[in-house]
Structure 1
């Protein structure tokens, strides 16, 4: 037996395997997801991506009746879908309640006709929830309503449906087209309006 172990160690050495330092691979990180709509998904993807504990933010569509919708389907306002983002996060580093707290500050929840310069049903603010997420989201919405500097809360809490990822050219738009994104965001008046709604 000893000779077999020595032979195996020699074989591993020839193959470059360090048996003394070998360690099991790290366990995969447990993740959870949250889905939000807040107008232009380029902006939501950019802003939600900066939250500590967030691992990934995907632009897409949800809430409607058309399967595998295109951007044209959604902006035609015939699909019932909202421009939205799916946020994947590490629950050991942040929680759903904190994501909601940050979400409200990124949207104008007093405007149910769109968001900022983007108008129409597909741009309305909404939180899409699982049954377990609903009471947390409703409580968060009530708390956010008390902090508004102007207007009344109109954002909806809606049942989570299938999330359809957006076309490739929409993904990571703020990173890939920084100047165009900056000009769009400024011209749309998003940040100026957020100061009016929430203060500094």
Structure 2
């Protein structure tokens, strides 16, 4: 029998433990009850929002944050019927909510089409059961449109991908619903917990699968 050295075993355990979005969230103080997850506040009239579901919301913030013209990204829950959902409720299933990211941007500096193009490159458009190592209704890919122009752009992009890959593109295109901000410890997770984020992302095989689908 082969025995792992202590350090190797620790790394292996860490990768396994982090192979599910949110399972290693920071411990909350026992004396402080977490606030309810309220619907996001309206944005200023000169800004717009776009909402995308692409599996673990931790991994969806960074690529949008890097785009000039994007003002903010927010992890949250949308698409379901339960008001003010918690992470635990959404994770158990039955709420209809997706883990999603809301992108707040300046339309004068970046187009919705640019955001849409960025979204496709962050997901596996062929996985009808979730995304990467995260499976279930919470992690299904979807684009939530806020108007007819966004719907048409999303549908056109899906058709282009179908023609390119010659296989079904399973990403749902759905009307936007109330977006509920996720708990504070989920926001900007890649910045607050870079080592845990890197372990999770690598353990989940996200980048390897993205390269397999989209190339370098």
TM-score range, shorter chain: 0.7 to 0.9
Extract unaligned runs of 5+ from structure 1.
1-27
Q: Is the 8 A contact 2:63 2:118 kept in 1?
A: no
Q: Is the 8 A contact 1:29 1:90 kept in 2?
A: no
The answer to whether structure 1 residue 144 and structure 2 residue 158 are counterparts is no
1:25 aligns with none
> What SS class does the counterpart of residue 112 from structure 1 fall into?
coil
CA-based RMSD: 1.5
Alignment of 1:164-175 (within 5 A): 164-175=180-191
Q: Shift of the alpha carbon at 1:151?
A: 4.7
1:87 aligns with 103
2:75 aligns with 59
Q: Is the 8 A contact 2:51 2:143 kept in 1?
A: yes
Instruction: Give deviations 1:61-89, integer Å, cap 9, x for gaps.
Output: 00001001000111101111000000001
Tell me the distance in 2 between the aligned counterparts of 1:94 and 1:79: 33
Alignment of 1:25-40 (within 5 A): 30-40=46-56
Q: How many residues of Structure 1 are paired with residues of Structure 2 in the alignment?
A: 172
Q: Is the 8 A contact 1:59 1:165 kept in 2?
A: yes
Tell me the distance in 1 between the aligned counterparts of 2:161 and 2:108: 24
Instruction: Give deviations 1:106-136, integer Å, cap 9, x for gaps.
Output: 0011111000000101101000012332111
Tell me the distance in 1 between the aligned counterparts of 2:73 and 2:143: 15
Higher relative contact order (CA 8 A, sep 6+): 2
Tell me the distance in 1 between the aligned counterparts of 2:45 and 2:173: 28
Normalised to the residue count of structure 2, the TM-score between the two structures is 0.76
2:131 aligns with 115
In structure 2, which of residues 59, 68, 88 is the aligned counterpart of residue 72 of structure 1? 88
Tell me the distance in 2 between the aligned counterparts of 1:125 and 1:92: 27
Change (3 A) 1:147 1:103: farther
Normalised to the residue count of structure 1, the TM-score between the two structures is 0.82
> What SS class does the counterpart of residue 77 from structure 2 fall into?
strand
